[in-house]
Structure 1
Amino acid sequence: MLYIGNHTSSSKGYLAMGKQMLANGGNTFAFFTRNPRGGKAKEINPQDVQAFLQLEQENHFGKLVAHAPYVMNCCAAKENLREFARETMADDLKRLELTPGNYYNFHPGSHVGQGAETGIAKIAEILNEVLTKEQSTTVLLETMSGKGSEVGRNFQELRQIIDQVELKEKLGVCLDTCHVWDGGYDIVSDLDGVFTEFDQIIGLDRLKAIHLNDSMNGLGSHKDRHARLGEGEIGLEALVRVINHPATKGVPFILETPNDDEGWAREIALLRKEYEEKQG
């Protein structure tokens, strides 16, 4: 089965997000746990959650991909910013237990001149403080495009974070097609090779979600500018190969393309058609 949806607004609650995704033709979705620029999270309505869980079960949704706020920087140089990251992640993981067994995706952070090695150690330190044996949520490190001082610009840096975390079984990876392309991984001409490298360095068992986006920029540009499917440098044909690749079977695909619900519905319908044709 193809699990696909888009990044949607959480402002109206879980049930509204689920209904909107069904209207878009999707069966999974991503959402920010709070304002992407930070701040206090909204109170969760338990009745809303229960109604959504029933809708989710009836419609065979795939795993949901909650997203941490962009401003959460686990490897910041300033300790007050790291404390915000620590508290935010701990609070988000606690709240996500109301919808158990899903994913929590975050950008590893920017080392802001401290160096990648220091950044990696600081990210792992916070994960070691926050992750618990009891949690049902898997925390996903996102692949990054390598702009500025971002950590996670290649598979090796993500592997180094994982290696320093005690509860490794609570970690996975979200691969962003725009980010890896901008980071220098040629998913157009050598998709098999990219997945082979991912498997050798990280392990395909840790590939838990994919942000499916085209890119406005060329291979290795380190820019991170998303484009609608088929309107960028990656192209629709290559992205269709991603959804049909054996390495991505059963993985939720999240569209973060610059669209509205009508546009996402078109993209979801297009991908479903392409997927079903390839699957026979």
Structure 2
Amino acid sequence: MPARHIAAAPPAKVPRTRKAPSPPAPPLDAPVTVDAGDWTMDRAPLGAHVSIAGGTWEAAARAREISATGAQVFTKQANRWAEREIDADEAARFRAAMAETHVRWCCAHDSYLINLASPDAELRARSVASFRAELRRCHALGLDALVSHPGNFMDDRASGLARNADGIAEALEAEPGPTRLLMELTAGQGTVLGSSFEEMRDLLSRLPASVRDRVGVCLDTAHIWAAGYDLVTDYDGVWARFAEVLGFEALGCLHLNDSKAKRGSHLDRHELIGEGTIGGEAFRRIMTDARLAAIPKIIETPKGDTPAATDGRMLCRLRGFAGL
């Protein structure tokens, strides 16, 4: 008698996980209980990307909670196209709150959806409009810098670079203001632009003289490691090449992140400082490098379930590397 065929049970539905919401910001005058090291000895602004949940001004209390002297924020939800303007009341509230902290340098990171290099006319137009809105919000808040990733060329690299540069120029010319644009070196995954010092130089060289002095570079340690730059065994060589190709005068910010990925993997996977494939010694050298002493330094490391405690531990570690 043939065996009966028993249909396999359908696979159980796996619930979708969402990023845990940011904890409420503490009162701006609450006692600081997180040990993040001695902020008074920071040679340059040092801090973390902090949440604006509850309002942009709430970033101030979160920065104060980790004794930050620098900070990075989003000015809107980074994964949505919906734009917003910042009115005078919000700007005043943000500035007043930040004045109650030790933060002396603050930047924003723009939306992950923006792709100024796109060959799709509709997406590129939407990206330019969104990028202009990012600049307006930064100017309104009085931020020092806006960090932006170069786009994905999708079709032809040279054409993508040209479109990217044209989009940057169009937005900067339309939105004058004090915030400096910092183009961030990337890990180089897929068709993303800007993963080599030479390609970033090419992108910046395409900008017209009318806006060129408003643009610099943000270097992310995890990104350049994934792009192939060996900060571990050729630290001096990496920085010598950076100086030759881009120049330290272009460097406006450092993103200090260890990496879960191997060098040259082109994977953008951040890890806690000293606990990834880069390791602690490269960060010790960065924190004691006289050439980088005045450059603002921001961490974007994983936060886990206790963002303030984890960020505080990372800042304390970096301050320890600096001998503070």
Aligned: 1:88 with 2:122: no
Q: Which residue of the partner structure matches residue 54 of structure 2?
A: 12
Change (3 A) 1:12 1:42: farther
Output aligned runs, 1:1-280, within 5 Å. 1-44=43-86, 46-57=88-99, 59-100=101-142, 102-112=144-154, 114-132=155-173, 134-166=176-208, 167-259=211-303, 260-277=307-324
Letter in 1 for 2:295: V
Letter in 2 for 1:221: S
Deviation of 1:198 (Å): 1.0
Displacement over 6 Å in runs of 4+: none
Cα-to-partner distance string for 1:94-150 (whole Å, 9 max, x where unaligned): 2211233511111101111x2221111010111121113842111111101111111
Deviation of 1:44 (Å): 3.0
Question: Is this contact kept in 1: 2:257–2:300, CA < 8 A?
Answer: yes
2 CA distance for matches of 1:239 and 1:249?
13
For residue 140 of structure 1, give the secondary structure of its aligned residue in structure 2. strand
Bigger mean CA deviation after superposition, 254-263 or 48-57: 48-57
For residue 70 of structure 2, give the secondary structure of its aligned residue in structure 1. coil
For residue 49 of structure 2, give the secondary structure of its aligned residue in structure 1. strand
Cα-to-partner distance string for 1:14-56 (whole Å, 9 max, x where unaligned): 3210111110121211112222212223453533432432443
How many residues matched? 276
Unaligned runs of 5+ in 1: none
Letter in 2 for 1:33: T
Bigger mean CA deviation after superposition, 52-61 or 90-99: 52-61
1 CA distance for matches of 2:321 and 2:44?
11
- What's the Cα RMSD here? 1.8
For residue 131 of structure 1, give the secondary structure of its aligned residue in structure 2. helix
Letter in 2 for 1:183: A
TM-score by length of 1: 0.92
Change (3 A) 1:9 1:41: farther
2 CA distance for matches of 1:228 and 1:265?
12
More helix by share: 1
Bigger mean CA deviation after superposition, 95-104 or 56-65: 56-65
Question: Is this contact kept in 1: 2:52–2:59, CA < 8 A?
Answer: yes
1 CA distance for matches of 2:308 and 2:115?
30
